[in-house]
Every structure is written in structure tokens, then in C-alpha cells.
Structure 1
């Protein structure tokens, strides 16, 4: 499993947002509200960083200490995914909390969504699933941190993404510094 430091090597500008001493997310509360454990690489990323916006395009949704219940609720009640599922537009994928259901962890300004498929039972083995704004569904046999490190390190290509993704010199912003 790829460590946060490998993602930092691919995105050096993110290190300015690293929280010294960690962020103290209440994982027991978050995972109780969600109904499942989360991958350890994601937990490490969330302990080190707040919500990150990469190239003013990709937002990585990391839980905020004190707001774990709202993060869990939003993840359980993904209305867009539920609507796509009800319309038959999710290929073989199903929304969480159905067995093997999808949980979103990032999204783009173009309408792309990045999920985990919650199968197999071990969260550290959950693959990343991308739904592009073109309604393409692509599965990658890696975790979220390895996926991001691969995309920004240019070892993982995501078909159907905009031609300038990833950018040549990606910058990472905190959510509060996002350019609107």
C-alpha cells in the first residue's frame, strides 16, 4: 500500500497543508455512522491533511474533526449515485450500503466522481472506481492514495478525463483557498 509520503512526492505543493501533529479525526464515530471501516491509506491521508483541492479541479473529501457524522451521512446518502443506479446508469455498480456498494471520496469540477468499491471485506483491498462525466466507469486495483500518487506521478492514466488532466505542474490548495 502506498504511503502518504509517496503522494507528497508526486504533489510536493500539498505539503504546505500537512497538519503538524495530526488532525485527530474520530474514526470510531465516523465508521460507526458510516457502517464500515475505511482504508488505512485514506485514514493516514485524513489524519495528515484537510480537504484538498488539486489544480482547482479535483477535490479530495477528507473528514473534518468534529464533523465526522456529516461526512459519514453524506457518504451513506449519495443522492446522485442513487439516482444513476435507479436509472440503470451504474453498470454493475451499486450504491453503498448495499454489499460491494460505492462510497465517494473525491470529485472533480467536470462531474467526475471517485469511489471505492466496498468489496472485498478488507477495506485496504477496496479498488478505486471512477465515473467520468462521460458516464464511463473505470475500475483501478489500487487504493485512493496509490491512485492519486499514480495519476499525479503519471503512472496511472484515467481514460475519459479532460485532456489537461493531470496538469503539468499541479498545485494543491486547501478548500478555503479554492479559486471560484
Structure 2
């Protein structure tokens, strides 16, 4: 069973799939990078979505538009004061702004990024957080979302903080479609 299968079992998306027919080659040209297959499947399954209200998935032409968020994030991450020196960056990761590609956001204007190490986007690890504290996850976006919602993220200062919200409020998602929102709670 894939992480997407497990996620859709935990939070079944509405029967009606997202309306947009995503032109992935055009979207990748617009963002300037190839995108992981896992991310594309997640977007095609849920469309514009917030998971447990604190993790918002960037989608092409959605409320948090991927191309716009990419441009803004690259500008912000390109600030000479970013990133701060960080001693807790594990081996195999870097906070080099030129190697970071956004895919979402966390409440509080924190980033959800891929570390674009290597030519295969399907192997890019996930980095989430902000200038003061970062979380590093070796897995796909869907695996990260599933681990967040099932409270199985590896122990770290950042992951413990964002997992508290799920612990307090439960696993759910809010899907935005055609100007209407639908909330799905885990069974």
C-alpha cells in the first residue's frame, strides 16, 4: 500500500475529483523545475487542501499558487541573512536557498520545501520550518503528510511542535473546490 493509499484511507477525498486538468509540463516550465510524481498525485487527488489546518499544499492555480509561491519563496530565501547558521542540519541536507523548492506552507509563514539534491525529483527529501528551527524528513511529501497526521514523524524540536496541533485537534483536511470548502475528519 502506498502512502497515498494510506492517506486516502485515513482522509477519503470527496468523490468528485479536482476540476483542473493540470498541465504538468507547463507548470514545471513555469516553476523552473521538475516536480516529484508523488506530489503530482497528491495534488490530483486532493486539489487545494489544508491538512489539520496547519499544512497548506501549494497547487497550480489554487489559493496558494505553486508558481507564485515558488517565486516569492526564492526571493525570501535569497535574502543574505537567510539561512541562519544551523548546527542541527543532518548529513545529506543543506539550507542553500538555490537548492530549495517550495511545495507548501505551515501556519505562521513557515516553509515546506524539497531539498533538490540530485536530478531525480522523486528522491528529494523534505525540509519544513523557518529561519529559527527546521525539520528534516527523508521521504516524499505524501509520506510526510501521512506521518504528520498519524503523529509518526521522527522526534525533533520542530516536528514535535507541529505534531501538537494534530494531537490537540485530530487529523482532518479542508478541501477548497469551486469556492466551497469541505472538511473531512479521520475516522
Answer with 41-50 or 53-62: which moved more.
Answer: 53-62
Query: Is 2:150–2:171's contact at 8 Å kept on the other side of the alignment?
Result: no
* d(CA) in 1 for partners of 2:82, 2:3: 36
Unaligned runs of 5+ in 1: none
What TM-score do the two structures reach when normalised by structure 2?
0.74
**Is 2:85 aligned against 1:87?**
no
In the alignment, which residue of structure 1 is the partner of 2:67?
72
Q: 1:149 to 1:128 in 2, by over 3 A?
A: same
Unaligned runs of 5+ in 2: 86-93
What TM-score do the two structures reach when normalised by structure 1?
0.77
In the alignment, which residue of structure 2 is the partner of 1:173?
174
Residue 29 of structure 1: how far off its partner (Å):
0.4
Q: 1:166 to 1:62 in 2, by over 3 A?
A: same
**Is 2:152 aligned against 1:148?**
no
Query: Is 1:25–1:46's contact at 8 Å kept on the other side of the alignment?
Result: no
How many residues align? The count is 166
Q: Which runs of 4+ in 1 moved over 4 A?
A: none
Task: Give the 5 Å matches for 1:36-55.
Answer: 36-55=33-52
More strand by share: 2
